[in-house]
Amino acid sequence: MKKFFVSVVLTISLLKASADEGMWLPMLLGEQVYADMVKKGLKLTKEQLWSINKSSLKDAILIFGGGCTGEIVSDQGLIFTNHHCGYGAIAGASTVEHNYLQNGFYAYNKGQEIKSALTVQFLDRIVDVTKEVEDGLKGLDWTERTKKTQEVFKAITDKVADKDNGLAGRIYSMFKGNQYIMYVYKTYRDIRLVGAPPESVGKFGGDTDNWEWPRHTGDFSIFRVYAAKDGKPADYSSENIPLKPKHFLPVSIKGLKNGDFAMIYGYPGGTNRYETSYGVKLKIDIENPSLVELRDARLKLMLEQMMKDPAVKLKLASNYASVANYWKFFDGETKQLKKFGTYEQKQNYEAAFLKWAKGKPAYENIMTGYAANYDAWTPYSKQRTYLSEGILGSPLAGFASSLVALEANMVKAGISTADIKKSVDAANAARKSFLEEEDLVSDEKILAVTAMKFYNDVNKDQHPIGFYEGLKAGYGDLKEEATFKKWARDVFAKTMILDEAKWAAFVANPDANTLQGDPAFVYASAFLKNYNTKYASLYSVFVNKNAELGKSYLKGIMEMNPGAAKMMYPDANFSMRVSYGNVKSYSPRDALQDDYVTTGRGIIEKYKAGDYEFDLPAKQIELMKKKDFGQYIDKAKNDLVVNFITTNDITGGNSGSPVIDANGNLIGLAFDGNYEALSHKIAFDKDLNRTICVDVRYVLWCIDKLGGATNIINELKLVKN
C-alpha cells in the first residue's frame, strides 16, 4: 500500500476504489467492494462468488501440492494448474528413457494417468475463532502468549478434525493477530498426472524471461483428483474413481479485450503491506543483496553441470527452478523498492502515525520499540542469511546438518537402543532421498564457494570458533580460492554420507564419535551449532517483538482511520483470497507502451533452435507458421494469443490460480508478475502492477493441436460466445 498514514486524504489508498489493490477474503466481501467489482464489469451475484449452502466459485478452487493453486475444470475432477507447480511431479515421473519433463506427456485415457505423491485441499468451511483464541491466551504476556498460541490453536482445530473424511482445521492470523479465522480443509491424496507440455513450452523463456513482460510461456499442467467410490478421500487405488466436484469452471474461448473484467481466486502465500521503514531498510541493505549473491553463485554452478548432461538436468531441475525463481524476484524487489522510494514513504507514514499517537499510551512508543528491536538484530542478519542460503545451500551440507538431531539422541543419557535405531532409520531414509537428487560435481563447487563467501563477507566475530583456523592449518591461505576447493574435494572424498560401505557400517553400529568425526558433519554442525547457541535466541526475540509491535501498530492504524479500516484487507497468508481488476496494457517506462497480449508471432521471433531457454518442438514451429490454430484463434489478432496481463493483485502461492471473466468462466492461468512491480509484497503500485497469465486458448491449443489429446478437450465445457 502507498500513503495510508499521512492524512485522512492519503488513507484513501487503503480503499480498493482507488486502484486494483487488494487480496480480499471472498466470504467477507463488503457491499462497497462488491459494488466496485460490479462497476468494473462483474456479472455474478455475491452468492455465486461465495455460498455456504450452495455450490459457488470457491468450490472449484483448491490448494495444489504444498504451495500453489489449482482449479477444477470438468465434472470428472480435472485440474488445471501451472507447469512450474506440477514440475516436481512431472520430473518425478520421468526417466532418461521416458523424459516427460523434456518431451511432454498426455494421457489419452484415464488408464494412462500417472500416480503422484501430490495432495490437493478443498476449502470446506470457515469459522471466526478470534474469541476462542483470545480467551485461551487471556492474561498472558507476549512471551507466554507466543509459547501457548499453537497449543490453543490445536485445541480448537482438534474439534473439527475428521480423519475418515480428510477434514482438518488450520487457523490463520489476520491483521497481525487482531483477528483469527479457522479454515477447514478436505484433503484428497490420490492425484494423477494427466498432461503437461514439453518443458521448452512450459518454461519457454527460462530465467531470461522470468518476471518479465512481454512473455510467451505455456505455463500449465493437468492433473486429476480421485476419491473412493463413496466420494471420500483415499490413498491411491485402482478402485478409486474421479472426484465429482461441487463446482467446476467452464472454459471460455471467445477471447478477451483490453479493459475486460478479470478476477483471480487463489491462495497467495505472503505479503507484508504494513511493513515499517525499519523492515524495508533491513531488506534492501542486507537481506536481499545477500540472498541474491549466494543464489547466483549456486545457480551458475548447477547450470554448468545441467547443460552438460541430460541426466543431471533432470536430477537438478526441480531444485534449480525453485532457487532461480526467487533469486530474480529479490533482485528486482530491491531495485523497485529503491526506485519507488518505499523506505522514505514508510518514514512519512510513521511520522504521521506518531503525530496521531501522541498522548495515547497504547501507541505512542511503538516506533521507539521498532527502532530498538532492529538495532539489536541487524548486526546478525547477514550471518543468518549466509547460513541458510550459503552454508546450507550445499545439498551435502544441508543433509549433514539434519544429522545434528541424530547426534543429540546418540549422546543423550538414558536413551534406549530402540530410540536410537529409530533415529538412524529416519536418517537412512533421508539419505536415500538426498542421494537421488545429489549431483556431486556441482555440489562440491557449491560447498567451496559458499564456505569462502561466509569467511569473506560475515563478521569474523560471528564465525564458528576454530573452524576456519582448522581449515587454514590443513589446507592453506584462506584468501585463496584454491584452498577452499582443496578442502571441499577432501570433504566429498572422505565423508561417509557419500560412501556406501562406510555408511552401512555406521547404520549397523551407530556411534557418536564416528558421526562427530565425519568431515561433512563437522562442517555443517559447526555453523549450525554456532547459530543455534549464539544467535537463534536473538532472532526469536526479534521476531516475537516485531509481532507484538505489529499487532499494536495495525490496531492503531485501524483506530486512527475507522472509515478506511472497514475497507482494509489482511496480508496474504496462504488463505483463500479473491482479487479483481481488468485486462490492461501499460507503459513500463518512458516512450514504451506494452500491449495486453502476446501472440504466436512473438514465439516465432524469440525461437532459437537448440537454445537452452528459447527452443521449441519442431511440430509447434510448423503449426504456428501454418497458422493452424483451429477454434483457438484470436480473430482480432488473426493469431494465437499466448499470454495476457491484468491489473490483479497477486503474489507467490497464486501460481496456477484461475483468471475468471465477468461471467465466471476460465480465461487463463496466473503464473507471474512483472519486473517493474516486484515491490508488490510490501508496496502495491497501481500504475505498474501487472499479473502475467497464460491464455486458456493457448493451453487448449497445446493440448489439442500440439499434444493430440482431444479426449481432454472433450471433457471440458467450452464457452464460445
Above 90 in pLDDT, residue 16? Answer: no
Give the pLDDT confidence of 501-534 residue by residue, as tens digits: 999 999 999 999 999 999 999 999 999 999 999 9
pLDDT of residue 14: 35
| Residue 84 bears catalytic tag | yes
| Residue 12 pLDDT | 30
For residue 250, what pLDDT is reported? 98
Integer CA distances (angstroms), 587 to 601, 632, 694, in order = 21, 28, 20
The predicted model gives 608-623 an average pLDDT of 95
Q: How confident is the model at residue 671 (pLDDT cuts 50, 70, 90)?
A: very high
Q: How confident is the model at residue 321 (pLDDT cuts 50, 70, 90)?
A: confident
Q: How confident is the model at residue 566 (pLDDT cuts 50, 70, 90)?
A: low
Preceding amide of 233 cis, omega within 30:
no
Is 83 annotated in the active site?
Answer: no
Amino acid at 109: N
pTM of the shown model: 0.90
Give the chain's domains with CATH numbers: 10-119+189-273+571-719 (2.40.10.120), 394-534 (no CATH)
**631 secondary structure, DSSP code:** G
| pLDDT classification of 2: cutoffs 50, 70, 90 | very low
DSSP class of residue 80 equals E
The confidence band for 19, taking pLDDT boundaries of 50, 70 and 90, is low
The predicted model gives 327-334 an average pLDDT of 92
- pLDDT grade for 317, boundaries at 50, 70 and 90: confident
Candidates 668, 664, 657; CA nearest to 695 is 668
- In this structure, the strands spanning 691-695 and 641-646 are antiparallel
The closest of 677, 711, 680, 610 to 213, measured between CA atoms, is: 677
437, 319 Cβ separation under 8 angstroms: yes
How far the first Cα of the chain sits from its last, in Å, is 38
Q: Which of 190, 207, 219, 649 is catalytic?
A: 219
Q: What is the mean pLDDT of residues 382-396?
A: 97
Structure confidence at residue 207 (pLDDT): 86
If one counts every other C-beta atom within 10 angstroms of the C-beta of residue 270, the result is: 12
Question: pLDDT tens digit string along 649-658?
Answer: 999 999 999 9
| Residue 590 banded pLDDT, cuts 50, 70, 90 | confident
Q: Which residue among 655, 672, 685, 695 is the active-site one?
A: 655
Average pLDDT value for the chain: 94
Q: Bridge-partner residues for 186, per DSSP?
A: 122, 167
pLDDT digits (tens, 9 = 90+) for 249-301: 999 999 999 999 999 999 999 999 999 999 999 999 999 999 999 999 999 99
Annotated active-site residue 162? The verdict is: no
Average pLDDT over residues 317-337: 89
Q: Which of 20, 59, 83, 84 is catalytic?
A: 84
Of the chain, the percentage scoring pLDDT greater than 70 comes to: 97
Render 300-330 in DSSP notation, one character per residue: HHHHHHHTT-HHHHHHHHHHHHHHHHHHHHH
pLDDT (tens digit per residue) in 679-721: 999 999 999 999 999 999 999 999 999 999 999 999 999 999 8
CA atoms within 13 A on the CB side of 398: 18
C-alpha 600/C-alpha 598 separation (Å) is 7
Give the model confidence (pLDDT) of 50-86 as tens digits.
Answer: 998 899 999 999 999 989 999 999 999 999 999 999 9
Q: What is the Cα–Cα distance from 286 to 345, expressed in whole angstroms?
A: 19
- Look at residue 594 in the predicted model and tell me its pLDDT: 85
Residue 600: other Cβ atoms inside 10 A: 24
113-138 residue pLDDT tens:
999 999 999 999 999 999 999 999 99
Q: Is residue 195 within 8 Å of 707, Cβ to Cβ?
A: yes
The span from the CA of 86 to the CA of 663, in Å, is: 28
